[in-house]
Chains A and B, each alone.
Chain A
Amino acid sequence: MRYVLNRVLQSVVVLFGVTVVVFLIVQLVPGDPIRIGMGTRFDPEVYEALRRASGLDRPPLEQYLSYVGRALTGDLGVSFRSGQPVSHLIVARLPATVSLAVVGIVIALLVSFPLGILSAVRNGSVLDSVVRAASQLGVSLPNFWLGMLLILLFSSTLGWLPPSGYTPLTEDPVEWLRRVIMPGITVGVVAGSILTRYVRSSVLETLSMDHVRTARSKGLPGRIILLRHVVRNALVPVITVTGTQIAAILGGVIVVEVVFAWPGLGLLVYDAVRARDFPLLQGAVLLIAVVFLIVNLLVDLLYAKVDPRIELGGGDG
């Protein structure tokens, strides 16, 4: 319990910091954020309304508190550019991004774990060399380039898959799959490559540990040794890395959505940055950061649960 409490407390502190940073986004803008955000659609009346609504004329501390207060109730302000409530805009885009992120994560996990384990177990073999080379390539690959290459191959040349657009899963699963597969691969490849290397190195390290030697000395069959003594132990440190890779995926989603014109949160963020629509940007950034915080917290808790050496009970062994 003590560990859990500590961890949650830490998350809360970080969350506080996050809100400050998000809040600062608007504060640090040199010039008048509203004017910048409105850009060419400047209208004095709308400007005044926005100014009063956003409270930018009040002292910073008061602004911060009111921002956080409203955020907690789901009110993330109003977009400078379109005048629409930020929360509405964000929620509308969520399903597309969730689809993409989940597919990306699944692909990354499905590829990295088996390959990483196999590569480590057959260290020095041809398979190992191929996996290592491939993961090194994957890590260095710009994901936007990969996306474009995939489009070139599967859309322009082969004509199998549509190059852009989104169909909700609920509407048409087949069409959904056809559209999500290329962006999903693009998102998953990089994270998958990084994960493969971590999995491989963790398994390699575990293989040389004493308890594996003990397991061998017990004459246990190879399969049991691998599953119960090697993989189980090796994957525990990988859990935390998986958490950070999910952050990578959340980040990668932004660029990939731009490449594939995928109407998700990432594209929204991109448009907000280009238009310098600060409330929209703040809202989206806040949401993504919070999601990431929660994911990390869950990952850490999972880690603690799986590794018996971490005292959840709070007592001394």
Chain B
Amino acid sequence: MSPAALEVRNLSVTIGQARIVRDVSWSVAKGETLGIVGESGSGKSISVLSAAGLGPASARIDGTVALTIDGREQDLLSMPGSQLRRIRGRRLGFVFQDPGTSLNPMLTIGRQLTEGPEVHLGMSRTQSRKRALELLELVGIPDPERRLKSYPHELSGGMRQRIMIAVALACDPEVLIADEATTALDVTTQAQILDAIRDLQNRLGTATVWISHDLAVVGGIADEVVVMYGGEVLERAETVELFRSTQHPYTRGLFESRPHLGERVDQLTSIPGAPPDPRATPPGCVFWERCQVRGDKRCRTDHPELVETSPGHWVRSFYTMSGADPHQDTASTVRPLPWKEHR
């Protein structure tokens, strides 16, 4: 595995009494894509945004966020705000969920594309304009000359999101962070955007962090997946491994919730309940309340650590859905039963 472009170590985000993100660690390397999957409230977005200084001002952030630039590692959390600002946009590019509102409706596309290079790369207006045209071609926007003078409301959702991607890549950042970037798009456009991102990544070698609630999307684009729930990382593995051998009951639940095309179901299943209140986190496993397996008596009272059950596959649980208790080497509670059987 190549050295990490961005590595998060033991990240915690607390707002007042609420511990929104707890001890989260992951990394993404150059040219690779990390997918972060979780429901609303899992802390998946906040963890990344806070790391870059885009979180709420009152948030307290602990841990290390190491960005490697030209071989040198820098901790984003320990640098002054002004320095962090210079890194944003230049080394980190962001794509957000709703391109309709994420672009400034009063400015032309061209202006929004040239802003970044002018500020971070010191380009002149002519130079940045050239760069803008390059970017539009890069993301596959037809007739780029005309588009420079267009306003966001004149474009379709798919095109707007492509522009957002172009904006994010304007200064050739080391890491691209996409937060629910395709959630607001229809399925066809979604597929197009995903293709575009994959293509761009191949060409530019940008490390990508893809945040989504949609396992299918993440599966299609990520090399490695991190599953978050209630502010914690519950499972982490390379994508193929995760899909092949899902070990945490929550991840299993995510898989089971997805209807498969062509399959008739009598009922749509989903995981009943809601994430715990971050102001009062339970003493045991954070998923215990909604867990329909509860395969170990320690689940309720003790907080499980992240354990590597096989190379590169980490699970935070006292048992796994495929067999052994990862906290001990002996196989204890074995509950390999499919989800549906629990009522």
Q: Do chains A and B touch in the complex (CB under 8 A)?
A: yes
- Residue among B54, B89, B93 with the most chain A CB within 10 A? B89
B115 close to A217 (CB less than 8 A): no
CB-nearest residue of chain B to A315? B154
Set of chain B residues within 8 Å of A218, measured between Cβ atoms? 88-89, 94, 115-116, 119, 167, 170
> Bound state CA distance, A67 and B332, in angstroms?
101
CB-nearest residue of chain A to B90? A219
Cβ proximity bits B80-93 to A, threshold 8 Å, 1 near / 0 not: 00000111111011
CB-nearest residue of chain B to A306? B106
> Bound state CA distance, A221 and B151, in angstroms?
23
Within 8 A of A (CB), among B133-189: 151, 153-154, 164, 167-168, 170
Set of chain A residues within 8 Å of B106, measured between Cβ atoms? 232-233, 236, 306-308
Within 8 A of A (CB), among B56-99: 85-90, 92-94, 96, 98
B103 close to A219 (CB less than 8 A): no
B172 to chain A, nearest CB (A): 13
B154 to chain A, nearest CB (A): 4
Within 8 A of B (CB), among A193-225: 209-211, 213-221, 224
> Bound state CA distance, A224 and B120, in angstroms?
13
B153 close to A224 (CB less than 8 A): no
A213 close to B88 (CB less than 8 A): no
B interface, over-half SS: mixed
Set of chain A residues within 8 Å of B87, measured between Cβ atoms? 219
Cβ proximity bits A230-243 to B, threshold 8 Å, 1 near / 0 not: 00110010000000
> Bound state CA distance, A236 and B54, in angstroms?
26
Set of chain B residues within 8 Å of A215, measured between Cβ atoms? 104, 115
> Bound state CA distance, A277 and B167, in angstroms?
66
> Bound state CA distance, A228 and B105, in angstroms?
12
B173 to chain A, nearest CB (A): 10
- Whether, in the assembled complex, A309 has its beta carbon less than 8 Å from a beta carbon of chain B, the answer is yes
Set of chain B residues within 8 Å of A221, measured between Cβ atoms? 85, 119
Q: How many residues of B contact A (CB 8 A)?
A: 31
B101 close to A211 (CB less than 8 A): yes
Q: How many residues of A contact B (CB 8 A)?
A: 23
A217 close to B54 (CB less than 8 A): yes
> Bound state CA distance, A287 and B98, in angstroms?
49
The answer to whether residues A214 and B153 also contact, given A219-B87, A220-B119 and a CB cut-off of 8 A, is no
Set of chain A residues within 8 Å of B194, measured between Cβ atoms? none
Among B105, B164, B167, which residue has its beta carbon within 8 angstroms of that of A308? B105
Set of chain A residues within 8 Å of B115, measured between Cβ atoms? 215, 218, 220, 224, 228
A125 to chain B, nearest CB (A): 13
> Bound state CA distance, A209 and B119, in angstroms?
22
- Whether, in the assembled complex, B107 has its beta carbon less than 8 Å from a beta carbon of chain A, the answer is yes
A213 close to B96 (CB less than 8 A): yes
B104 close to A211 (CB less than 8 A): yes
- Whether, in the assembled complex, B102 has its beta carbon less than 8 Å from a beta carbon of chain A, the answer is yes
Set of chain B residues within 8 Å of A214, measured between Cβ atoms? 94, 96, 102-104, 164, 167
Within 8 A of A (CB), among B296-326: none
> Bound state CA distance, A211 and B119, in angstroms?
17
- Whether, in the assembled complex, A276 has its beta carbon less than 8 Å from a beta carbon of chain B, the answer is no
Binding site for B on A (CB under 8 A): 209-211, 213-221, 224, 228-229, 232-233, 236, 306-309, 317
Binding site for A on B (CB under 8 A): 52, 54, 85-90, 92-94, 96, 98, 101-107, 115-116, 119-120, 151, 153-154, 164, 167-168, 170
19 other A-B residue contacts (CB within 8 Å) besides A219-B119, A317-B153: A209-B101, A210-B96, A211-B101, A213-B96, A214-B94, A214-B164, A215-B115, A217-B52, A217-B94, A218-B115, A219-B85, A219-B92, A219-B116, A224-B115, A229-B107, A308-B106, A308-B153, A309-B153, A317-B154
